[in-house]
């Protein structure tokens, strides 16, 4: 799978509304057949930073995502709400779902 984590630093005046601002993009991406997950979290250290954790089935699904109309729309819409260019980690990993964290197993 393609595993991606990206940090979005949102302008302070838009930080509380980011889930709504990015909502159409989020919903459309989650509906893609190759999307495994697409989840936003807000930093506990910086309320203007959101972390996006996303995964796609394979290279083909990742390519379909960046070619989609909703991705292009997000490229046009979202940057005006950002304080800086998002930072990203993108890796291909040999699994297709989350693994359990054995070091913190719950009995």
- Residues 58-80: pLDDT tens digits? 999 999 999 999 999 999 999 99
Please, what are the domains in the chain?
Answer: 2-93 (3.30.70.100)
C-alpha of 51 from chain center: 7
> What are the φ and ψ backbone dihedral angles of 87, each rounded to 5 degrees?
-105, 145
Segment 4-59, tens digit of pLDDT:
999 999 999 999 999 999 999 999 999 999 999 999 999 999 999 999 999 999 99
pTM: 0.93
Instruction: Report the run of H or E that residue 34 belongs to, with start and end.
Output: none
39: left (phi over 0), alpha (psi -120 to 50) or beta: beta
Segment 12-23, tens digit of pLDDT:
999 999 999 999
Hey, CA dihedral for 17, 21, 27, 33, is it positive or negative?
A: negative
Specify the pLDDT at position 107. Answer: 86
């Amino acid at each position: 799978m393609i595993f991606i984590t990206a940090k979005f630093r949102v302008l302070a005046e838009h930080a509380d509304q980011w889930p709504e601002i990015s909502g159409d993009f989020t919903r459309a991406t989650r509906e893609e057949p190759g999307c495994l997950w697409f989840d936003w979290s807000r930093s506990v250290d910086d309320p203007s930073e959101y972390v996006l954790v996303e995964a796609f089935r394979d290279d083909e699904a990742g390519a379909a995502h960046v070619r989609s109309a909703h991705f292009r729309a997000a490229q046009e819409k979202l940057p005006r709400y950002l304080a800086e260019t998002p930072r990203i980690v993108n890796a291909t990993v040999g699994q297709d779902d989350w693994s359990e964290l054995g070091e913190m197993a719950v009995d």
